[in-house]
Each structure stands twice: as structure tokens, then as C-alpha cells.
Amino acid sequence: MSVSREEFINKLKEGKVLLYRCKRCSNLQLATIVFCRMCNSDEFEVVEEEGKGRVVTFTILYVPPEGYERYTPYGWAVVRLDSGINISGFIDVKSARDLPLDSRVRIVGYDGRGILLKAENSSSSSSSVLTEVTN
């Protein structure tokens, strides 16, 4: 079973991330890759993760992609999902003070800028929930 780019993006719009779990070595990766980074296998199970994690680092963008000038400035953050996978996306912060490192964030959508993130209530749980996806 493989995941198309469209399926991957549609899940992001629902705040979820599709992952591949390697059938040979169980390595988890985003379902946008073709071969397992660890063992080069191309046999995967598809799993779904709630798009929640913690901010690893971020920067503030003042020069947006064309058509997104109205959002500037905004943040571009690297987030470690609860599964341990890193993703990056855009978050509405105007200043470095607005988003302490390690803040809880979640995926809230996807548009021309890429993945859209939003800061979460810091009391939310960090338990990882992976769901098998079957057709």
C-alpha cells in the first residue's frame, strides 16, 4: 500500500500525518518517501498519527512566498511529532518571544505555504497514538 501526495496532503488538512512503517525493520518515516532510510526496503505499512508535537526550533519569516505577503511576519518551525518524526511548517507568531522552544503545537491545515501549525495548551498530553490505516 502506498500513499499519494494528494492523500498525504488531505490528511494534513485534517491535522493528521501519514507515516510508513517499514515491514522489514519497523523504522517510521513520513509517507512521502520511496525507500526506507534505514534498510532500503520499499515494503511499508501505513500508519496515521495525530499531528501533534513539540517545537524543536523556529525562525521568523519576513519574506514570504508570492501571494502570502499578508501573513508576514510569521514563523517557520521544525516540530518533532510525538512519534519522533520531524516535520516543518508555518505558525502564526510575530516575535521569537511568542513561542518558547519545546512548546506543544499541532497541525491545523495545509495551504500554499505548506503545513500550518498552531500552538496548543501546554497541559495537553504528549502520548503518541499511531493508528493502522487499511483499505
Shortest separation between residue 48's beta carbon and Zn ion, angstroms = 19
Q: 31: which 3 cell numbers?
A: 509517507
Chain position carrying cell 511548517: 89
What is the rounded distance in angstroms from the CA atom of residue 133 to the CA atom of residue 69? 37
Q: Of the two residues 25 and 56, which places its CB atom closer to Zn ion in the complex? A: 25
Please tell me whether residue 83 binds Zn ion under the rule CB under 5 A. Answer: no
Q: CB of 107 within 8 A of CB of 89?
A: yes
Minimum distance from CB of 130 to Zn ion (Å)? 16
Left if phi > 0, otherwise alpha if psi is -120 to 50, otherwise beta: which for 5?
alpha
Q: Total number of residues binding Zn ion (CB under 5 A)? A: 8
Cβ closer to Zn ion: 36 or 99?
A: 36
Q: Which of 25, 56, 96, 129 binds Zn ion (CB under 5 A)?
A: 25
Which of residues 1, 2, 33, 39 is near Zn ion by CB under 5 A?
39
Q: How far is the CB of 24 from Zn ion (least distance, A)?
A: 5
Candidate list 41, 92, 120, 133; residue touching Zn ion; CB under 5 A? 41
Give the C-alpha separation, 48 to 18, whole Å: 5
Contact 47, 28 (CB under 8 A): yes
Minimum Å gap between C-beta 133 and Zn ion is 18
What are 16's three cell numbers? 493528521
Which positions lie near Zn ion, rule CB under 5 A? Answer: 22, 24-25, 27, 36, 38-39, 41
